[in-house]
Amino acid sequence: MSLITLTGIGKSFKVAKRSAGFKEAVKALFAREHTIVEALRDISFTVREGEIVGYIGPNGAGKSTTIKIMCGVLVPDAGACSIMGFTPWKDRVRYVRHIGVVFGQRSQLWWDVPVIDSFELLRDIYAIPPRIYRKNLDLLAEMLDLADILRTPVRQLSLGQRMRCEIAASLLHDPAILFLDEPTIGLDAESKIAVRNFIKSINRERGVTVILTTHDIHDIEALADRILMIGKGTLLYDGSMSDLRGRYGTRKTITVDYKRDARPVDIPGAECLSLSVNRAVYTFDSDRINITDLINRLSAGGELADVEIGSPPVDELILKLYKEHRV
Amino acid sequence: MNAPLSILKMRLLRGMQYRASAAAGMVTQFFFGLIIIMVYIAFYEHSGAAQPMTLKEVTAYVWLTQMFYAFVAYWMYDGELFAQITSGNIAYELCRPWRIYPVWYAKLLAMRLSIAALRSLPIMAVVFLLPEPYRFALPASPGAFLLFIAALFSGLLLVAAISMFVYISVFWTMSPVGSLIVATVTGEFFAGVILPVPFMPGWLQEIVYLLPFRWTADFPFRVYTGHIGAQDALAGIGIQMIWLAALVSAGQWLMGRALRRVVVQGG
């Protein structure tokens, strides 16, 4: 039984357009041109309880729109969505009790009062019983290292501190599902790792289902068992990270360092990417070329100092997917 | 605590922080009251014909307008709510287990209450002590005073219900300026804030009586002075309730439509 089911979700926006210049601006006062932008087209997927799903895609692909539909904020034009038995936009008030949301680019904390005041207002809004509130607050403060910043006004927090508070704020009411829209945007390496570790442990220890969008591929690699990729409003890939690697990851790169000046060796099936004084880089398909064979042939070019074989980074896999689907 | 109530509490506490603004507001209100009454005095001295209200009643009316300015002014608005719509932060507001209409309504009430709470009593204390003919008269009777309080607060509920439409309109217009100007000009004029309704020409009064605005200012203030009797006042409070029910249901319906087509600005 799946927790989240989306079937054939579609959503389009009307966007006003005009060219630059004063004349055009005056013209737009009387007759405005609109184009219909199809943000989402026939999106269907399901998510099981306890999963962490990474939702990726280029800018403007429709990630945030999908998240907002699943949170009950936007109403789709077509399709059906059932989350824990609710239709988000129809049963919004009853439904949102069970979810936590972080929009990385916005803030849910009151700007000029200490963080704890915002938390207490959220406690009132969600009518969280005092005992549970206390327990969750202590737990979150410890896990996210908030003890020192709870009494600081939000405007004086660094971005990393604020994001930790935002995530804590979205979990005070024990949600079953956590939606994170770019939770690591703009964070430094240390804060990113803290946020990732926290998401992992909240998923493991409390069984919270997590759906996150991100542009940081390391987030996905560290967190998501499963990725959904969307481009130009359509779902392009739904599967595990290792499947994606299996599909595109047979292409490897080999970097060879020679002890003396290298001579380029032409190897059928491998492509020479770069060649400098002591170093040569090739790419090849590991399904078609035997690695031992390859190294033997390379050593014909001179005495080898070092050989390094690498898989392409996930970024490149993603770019390949984009290219394959022309997004 | 119930969510709209705790929002109300937070806003009240915050509004009370701004003491300098309250002091400045009091001085302004006091000054305007004096000027307007001076004009009426000149008018009463030099006009032969009988007037629809006595000078004493008009003076009380003017002071009430100034004291409860926050209950009758249509230009007062909550910039935060407009910003939520135009910046897209409404996304978070919609992720909370509440309906937007009652919450925003509570915020508007709280804003007006917190402003009036700080200003009305000090102004009242001063204007009771002024020399005649500027002095603020006591209510017509204890009964009239109680009816006035009831009418004043249902008027406040009405003002909030009417101004909700300005906020809802921003979902379509994306800028509050136009709606605010329209609401201020029509609202304050037809409410009798600028000129008491009995001074208006007959045909205009007929129009005023068809609209909801007069129930927010003209009606409660004339109940205080006794210009509207107890019988009519009771009936009037009933009409206020009918208007309130109609405006709130219309507002909630429109808000529902607005939220269905909501676009979260800025991605």
CB contact under 8 A, B267 and A106: no
SS3 A33: strand
pLDDT at A84: 94
CB contact under 8 A, B3 and A73: no
Residue of B89, B260, B263 with shortest CB distance to A13 = B263
- DSSP bridge partners of A45: A6
Mean pLDDT, residues A159-176 taken together: 92
CB contact under 8 A, A74 and B264: yes
Paired tokens of A89: 């936009």
Instruction: Assess A130–B contact: CB distance below 8 Å, yes or no.
Output: no
Nearest CA-CA partner of B165 in B253, B80, B243: B253
Distance (Å, whole) CA A51 – CA A45: 13
Which domains, ranges and CATH numbers included, belong to chain A? 4-245 (3.40.50.300), 250-310 (3.30.70)
pLDDT above 80 for B202: yes
- Split at pLDDT 50, 70, 90, the class of B214 is very high
pLDDT at B211: 93
φ and ψ of B210, to 5 deg: -85, -15
pLDDT at B50: 79
- DSSP letters, B171-227, are HHHS-SHHHHHHHHHHHHHHHTSSS-GGGS-HHHHHHHHHSSGGGGTHHHHHHHHTS
Percent with pLDDT over 90 in chain B? 44
Angular region, B89: left φ>0, alpha ψ -120 to 50, beta rest? alpha
CB contact under 8 A, A75 and B3: no
Instruction: Assess A5–B contact: CB distance below 8 Å, yes or no.
Output: no
- The DSSP code for A64 is H
Mean pLDDT, residues B181-195 taken together: 90
Q: Position B169: which residue type?
A: S
Distance (Å, whole) CA A99 – CA A225: 21
The more confidently predicted of residues B8 and B87 is B87
pLDDT above 70 for A20: yes
CB contact under 8 A, B10 and A74: no
Q: What is the mean pLDDT of chain B?
A: 88
CB contact under 8 A, A99 and B97: no
What is the reported pTM? 0.82
Minimum Cα–Cα distance from A126: chain B residue: B97
The more confidently predicted of residues A150 and A250 is A150
Checking DSSP bridges between strand A234-240 and strand A33-47, what pairing results, if any?
unpaired
Nearest CA-CA partner of A47 in A21, A75, A70, A77: A70
pLDDT at A273: 78
Instruction: Assess A177–B contact: CB distance below 8 Å, yes or no.
Output: no
**Could you report how far apart the first and last alpha carbons of chain B are, in Å?**
33
Nearest CA-CA partner of A112 in B10, B243, B218, B253: B10
Kindly report, residue by residue over A53-109, the tens digit of the pLDDT. Answer: 999 888 888 898 999 999 999 999 999 999 999 999 999 999 999 999 999 888 888
Stretch among A31-35, A120-124, A263-267, B100-104 having the lowest mean pLDDT: A263-267
CB contact under 8 A, A13 and B92: no
- Split at pLDDT 50, 70, 90, the class of A232 is confident
Stretch among A147-156, A296-305, B138-147 having the lowest mean pLDDT: A296-305
Q: Which of B5, B84, B96 to mutate to test the interface with A (most CBs of A within 10 A)?
A: B96
pLDDT at B25: 85
Mean pLDDT, residues B195-207 taken together: 92
Mean pLDDT, residues B75-103 taken together: 87
Mean pLDDT, residues A24-34 taken together: 73
Query: A166 with A108: CB under 8 angstroms?
Result: yes
Distance (Å, whole) CA A206 – CA A197: 14
pLDDT at B3: 67
User: Which residues of A are less than 8 Å from B96 in CB distance?
Assistant: 96, 125-126
Reduced to 3 DSSP states, what percent helix, strand and coil does chain B have, rounded to the nearest 5? Answer: 75, 0, 25
- DSSP bridge partners of A86: A83
* Nearest chain A CA: its distance from B67 CA (Å): 30
Minimum Cα–Cα distance from B11: chain A residue: A121
Task: Specify which of A28-42, A142-156, A307-321 reaches the highest per-range mean pLDDT.
Answer: A142-156
Kindly report, residue by residue over B16-47, the tens digit of the pLDDT. Answer: 667 787 888 889 999 999 999 999 999 988 88
- For residue B164, give every residue at least 6 positions away whose Cβ sits within 8 Å of its Cβ, in sequence order, or none: B101, B104, B105, B108, B247, B251, B255
Query: B224 with B60: CB under 8 angstroms?
Result: yes
Paired tokens of A130: 């005092």
Residue of A101, A124, A127 with shortest CB distance to B95 = A101
Q: Which of A125, A133, A173, A177 to mutate to test the interface with B (most CBs of B within 10 A)?
A: A125
pLDDT at A49: 93
CB contact under 8 A, B267 and A64: yes
- The DSSP code for A312 is P
Percent with pLDDT over 70 in chain A? 95
pLDDT at B265: 62
pLDDT above 80 for B110: yes
CB contact under 8 A, A72 and B3: no
Kindly report, residue by residue over A237-249, the tens digit of the pLDDT. Answer: 898 877 877 776 6
CB contact under 8 A, A13 and B260: no
**Could you report how far apart the first and last alpha carbons of chain A are, in Å?**
33
pLDDT above 60 for A289: yes
Residue of B7, B97, B262 with shortest CB distance to A97 = B97
pLDDT at B264: 66
Q: At what angle do helices B79-87 and B100-128 cross, to 10 degrees?
A: 160
Distance (Å, whole) CA A296 – CA B145: 104
User: Which residues of B are less than 8 Å from A99 in CB distance?
Assistant: 95
φ and ψ of B14, to 5 deg: -70, -40
Residue of B1, B92, B263 with shortest CB distance to A103 = B92
User: Which residues of A are less than 8 Å from B92 in CB distance?
Assistant: 101, 103, 106, 108
Residue of B1, B96, B264 with shortest CB distance to A68 = B264
The more confidently predicted of residues A189 and A217 is A189
pLDDT above 60 for B266: no
φ and ψ of A166, to 5 deg: -60, -45
Stretch among A59-68, A165-174, B57-66 having the lowest mean pLDDT: A59-68
- The DSSP code for A84 is T
pLDDT above 60 for A317: yes
With b meaning 16 or more CB within 10 Å and e meaning fewer, what string describes A273-300?
Answer: eebeeeebbbebeeeebeeeebeeebee
